[in-house]
Amino acid sequence: SQTIHQWPATLVQPVGSPLSLECTVEGTSNPNLYWYRQAAGRGLQLLFYSVGIGQISSEVPQNLSASRPQDRQFILSSKKLLLSDSGFYLCAWSAGTGSRYEQYFGPGTRLTVT
């Protein structure tokens, strides 16, 4: 069966420090991958999605970047964190493109920038 992992589960980082969050999927190949962020009191917002290795689409301009170095690995990065980067980050995958493909979510990473 397919599983999705995220780490770390929680992270506290000072302003200006770098960031690397990792997401991996098992049990499937060529998944669509997604990064979402939930800021306090707000809904989940799509940050990036990827339909294949090296293919990244950004939804909103921001201080973050994403990479997909392997088929089932999706990394969220920042060179210098801002206070506004604090939030709950969720990775998700789907088997294809189109709303009939359900998105499956990871456990999330809670990031606090101090």
Partner 1 sequence: AQRVTQPEKLLSVFKGAPVELKCNYSYSGSPELFWYVQYSRQRLQLLLRHISRESIKGFTADLNKGETSFHLKKPFAQEEDSAMYYCALTPSGGYNKLIFGAGTRLAVHP
- Give residues in contact with partner 1 (CB under 8 A): 32, 34, 36, 41-46, 49, 51, 59, 90, 94, 97-108
CB of 13 to partner 1, least distance (A): 24
Q: Which is nearer to partner 1, 86 or 106 (CB)?
A: 106
Question: Contact at 8 Å (CB) between 20 and 75?
Answer: yes
CB of 47 to partner 1, least distance (A): 11
CB of 98 to partner 1, least distance (A): 6
- How many C-alpha atoms does 26 have within 13 Å on its Cβ side? 5
Distance CA 36, CA 24 (A): 15
SS3 state at 16: coil
Amino acid at 62: Q
